[in-house]
Amino acid sequence: AEFERTFIAVKPDGVQRGLSHRNCGVMRCGNHSTTILQPPMRDAISEIISRFERKGYKLVGIKVVVPTKEFAGKHYHALKDKPFFNGLSEFLSSGPVVAMVWEGEGVITYGRKLIGATDPQKSEPGTIRGDLAVVVGRNIIHGSDGPETAKDEINLWFKPEELVSFTSNAEKWIYG
């Protein structure tokens, strides 16, 4: 079957909150003395991947990139007139981003449900932002908001040869 695809990214805050906690003890944290003050959240990357995977969606592309500010601005071009556009582009380019393409029936719309509302204060518990984020400027994850943006964002972040097509063994049990 032909399934739709969406672009999902773990933003720099999501990446840092997972990785920077690894091996940090409370008393001895090496260079990470500030990170132990953050809310305890290990494995933000795998947590996000896990939620899409458990639902039944399929990962068909993934890479770690530090986008330039210009690239971040392209990604968020629809928001270029917003007062927060500059800070937003700066933030997205401030560190590693885990860029992904997920595939499956309804993945664009349902992916947004898994992610939750833009402002984590309004995201329902059980959603990624509701469970794992607090403020709108650090809401840890991006997801395309429709078929057109999904197509544009996938093309912006990935070359065609970086995406795979395959049938997973679980598919007949997920879709019948």
Residues that bind Mg ion (CB under 5 A): 145
Beta carbons of 76 and 88 less than 8 angstroms apart: yes
* Residue partners of 150: CB distance under 8 A and separation at least 6: 4, 5, 6, 7, 108, 144
Minimum separation from the CB atom of position 6 to ligand DAT (A)? 12
Residue 142 among the catalytic residues: yes
Tokens representing 47 are 């947590």
Tokens representing 120 are 């984590």
Q: On the CB side of 54, how many CA atoms lie within 13 Å of its CA?
A: 7
Nearest residue to the partner ligand DAT, using Cβ: 118
Binds 175: which of Mg ion, ligand DAT, none (CB < 5-8 Å by kind): none
Nearest residue to the partner Mg ion, using Cβ: 145
Residues at the contact surface with ligand DAT, assessed by CB under 6 A: 79, 84, 88, 118, 136-137, 139, 142, 145
Which residues are marked as active site?
A: 142
**Residues annotated in a binding site for ATP:** 11, 84, 112, 118, 129, 139
